[in-house]
Every structure is written in structure tokens, then in C-alpha cells.
Amino acid sequence: MRTVFRIETPSLVLRPQGDTQRMLEMSREDCARQWLPSQIYRDERHAATAVAYLIGQFNLDASPTTNAFVFGVEEKVTGRLIGHVGLSPLFDTVEVGFGIATSEQRKGYATEGVARVCAWGLERFSIPAIVGVTDKQNVASQRVLIRCGFIRKEEKMMRFQGVDRPVVVFELRRKEPNQSAAANRRPAGQSDGSDNLSATLAAAEDGQTKTQNGGQTVLGNSGDRDARARGRFQRVVNACP
């Protein structure tokens, strides 16, 4: 069953993708080119093709282990599309991906959108966990994930945006009804990753935002997928802003 629906937060409306011209504009911003080079639209027709595909993926009889659930992020007060956030398949798990337009970064929108989509996904689909994968240098996205309760799991080399590069993997686990709030608490002596970010974040706050303020993680293409089962998904979702 395909359906069009929306999720609201205090500041945002999360709804199926649209606004192809706006999506095209955001995909060409410097931060998108830096962190998401494979997610840049060639033209409005390319953007429209991606929109149609992503809307078709909204099948609530399916799951983000097989389908991409990518929401447009709309600023509630203006009704303007300012980014995307969504859940998509990554190997045998589910990955969260997000991106916010440069002009709307540093307002808490990424954190607000990611937290809401993850809560929705964990509850709606009863998946055990959601992962977030970022370029090792993308500290802004790492900060968003940590604020949403993700725990830093590992650092490794991975096929990422079409290139083998170092990435950081984070994880958010679903709490069972009888679990306490300690379910996502890190083991004793293990950092959640925030300590490792402090020096770089201090530099970013001093104005080095061009290289550290992408505010985005890759959506749906963090690793190589089975080409036959997910080839079309990879080609289209890699183009998202």
C-alpha cells in the first residue's frame, strides 16, 4: 500500500519528497558537493526522476530493510523545503541519512529531524537498531548523531560515495518495553565519540565551516549492495540532496 503522509516536529514537517527545483538547488551547494559528490542532480529532469522513485518507495507494507523511506524536510513556519532525512537499507541493517541546506544549518533542524525519523522507524517497523555512517572528517554529522543518542561503534575503511575511505559508524538500538533508559548507554570506559570531536568542533566554531559543517551523512549508499536487488535504488537515491 502506498500512502502520502507526514510527520510533524515542533519546527518541521517531514513528508515525501517534492519541489524538484529546490532539490536541484540544494544538491549543488558546496556542502553537498563536499560530502555527497554522488548525490548531485544533473538537471531538473534528473531531480524529478529521483522524486518519482522515492515517492514510490513509500510502501508501509514494506520495511526500511528493503525500501527507502526518504522524507523531505520542510520548515513549518515558511513551508520551504530545507533538506531531507530518511531510513534506507544498508547490508543487513538500516541506515539513517540526512542533509540540510547550508542556510538552515546550525539551527538544530538536522538533530530534530533525525531524532524524529529514528523514533518513528524503530517503533513502526520494530527494527532492532539503526546505524549512521559518516566520513571520518564530517564532524558536524557525527555531532548530530551523538545528540540523537547514537553510540560510536567503530572506525573503518569502507566504500563510501564511490571511494574507499575512512568512515565512522554509529548505532542507535531500540529499547524493549522492559528496558531501562540505560539500553543505549555506552559501556564503562568507552567514549560515545564526543570527546574525540572536541578539538575539531572547536576549530569549526571558529569559522572553518566550509569543511566541517556539511551537516549531512550519505543516504543509502554507504556500502556496496547487491547490484541486481538494489541497483536501481543505489542509482537514484545517490542523487538525493
Q: Which of 167, 177, 105, 181 is nearest to 131 (CA)?
A: 167
CA atoms within 13 A on the CB side of 185: 8
Q: Determine which of 18-22, 80-84, 88-92, 219-223 has the lowest per-residue pLDDT on average.
A: 219-223
Phi, psi of 64 (to 5 degrees): -70, 0
CATH number of 7-175+190-237: 3.40.630.30
Q: Give the confidence band of 217 by pLDDT, cuts at 50, 70, 90.
A: very low
Instruction: Return the domain boundaries, the chain.
Output: 7-175+190-237
| Rounded Cα distance, 59 and 118, in Å | 17
Q: Are the C-beta atoms of residues 3 and 58 closer than 8 Å to each other?
A: yes
Considering only residues 9 and 53, tell me which one the structure prediction assigns the higher pLDDT. Answer: 9
Q: Per DSSP, what are the bridge partners of residue 98? A: 85, 217
Give mean pLDDT, residues 121-148.
Answer: 95
Q: Tell me, what's the pLDDT at 49?
A: 82
Give residue-wise pLDDT tens across range 104-130: 999 999 999 999 999 999 999 989 999
| Rounded Cα distance, 121 and 68, in Å | 11
Whole-number percent of the chain with pLDDT over 70: 62
Give the residue carrying C-alpha cell 538525493.
240
Helix (H), strand (E) at residue 116: helix 109-125
CA-atom Rg of the chain in angstroms: 17
* pLDDT of 214 above 50: no
